[in-house]
Structure 1
Amino acid sequence: MNFQVGDQVIAEYKTGVYYGEIVEMSSTMKAAVRILAVKEHPTQGDLHNPMDPSVAFFHQRRALSHQEIALMPLATIRPYAGTVPSYSDSLKRALVAQIDKLTDMEAWARRSLQELAQLNNEYFPPSN
């Protein structure tokens, strides 16, 4: 894809996804993108050990700031022709979506543990 300065894009940076604008083509492999809004909030924790809460350093990842410029590989950038939401509204929506997703996973894990405990009792009944 040939991007031009001024093109609106959706771009991934680490584990977050952003609406942005190309401000510089720094090489044939990367572009500088100005952040306009947040599509998906970055994932928390250690990327090398996903879903592991007991790692030595559990990373807190903040969303990139409004108007911040980040150098992103072209492979993580795609054109965007829609309306860009306000940064504040998009950040709130993305944060709430991440919280809701994790809350749903937590509820699923609790229910799964209940079902597995029942199966454990059926597979290996307690001796009387």
Structure 2
Amino acid sequence: MNELGAMTEIVKMSYKTGDYVGEVIERDDRRLLVKVLAVLQHPTQGDLHSSYDPDAAMFHERRALSYTEKVWVPIQTAQPYTGAIPEYRETLQTALGIEMERMDRLKRWSERCMEQLESLRKDYGM
């Protein structure tokens, strides 16, 4: 057996742009079927190919995987998880809050940049 070979396999895994804790239900040579138990990082919103572009043609809304939702993931995206399994709803709320704080910080950074650029425009005499 490999390092994910325990009877009840609990893993940390990435799926699309989110990170989760889940239980391995099934496996084959390349992938694992994982039942989601907790959210560690909420998926990123928007077009991943046009980062930070609010006018992208396809601005995607990405929902976190649901509690007990089953997804196939490549084996290499999963690692053993040995900690206590947190409660799903609490982890979803925390992950969403962290992502919202990150976006608020980015918004405030952008606004501050615009203030500096306006100041520079005046300084340049434009």
TM-score (norm 2): 0.91
Partner of 1:93: 94
| Structure 2 counterpart of 1:61, one-letter code | R
1:94 match: secondary structure: helix
Give 1:17's match in structure 2, choosing from 10, 16, 19: 19
1:106 match: secondary structure: helix
| Structure 1 counterpart of 2:125, one-letter code | P
Partner of 2:9: 7
Superposed structure 1 runs of 4+ greater than 6 Å apart: none
* Aligned-partner Cα distance in 1 for 2:61–2:3: 34
* Aligned-partner Cα distance in 2 for 1:103–1:90: 20
Q: Which runs of 5+ in 1 are unaligned?
A: none
* Aligned-partner Cα distance in 2 for 1:50–1:39: 21
Q: Shift of the alpha carbon at 1:101? A: 0.5
Partner of 1:43: 44
Q: Shift of the alpha carbon at 1:72? A: 0.3
2:85 match: secondary structure: coil
The answer to whether the Cα contact below 8 Å between 2:32 and 2:72 also exists between their aligned partners in 1 is yes
The answer to whether the Cα contact below 8 Å between 2:3 and 2:80 also exists between their aligned partners in 1 is no
> Any residues of structure 2 matched to 1:101-116 within 5 Å, and which?
101-116=102-117
Q: Shift of the alpha carbon at 1:125? A: 2.0
CA RMSD, aligned part only? 1.4
* Aligned-partner Cα distance in 2 for 1:49–1:72: 25
Equivalences, count: 124
Q: Shift of the alpha carbon at 1:57? A: 2.0
* Aligned-partner Cα distance in 1 for 2:108–2:120: 19
* Aligned-partner Cα distance in 2 for 1:32–1:2: 16
Q: Shift of the alpha carbon at 1:108? A: 0.8
Partner of 1:81: 82
Q: Which runs of 5+ in 2 are unaligned?
A: none
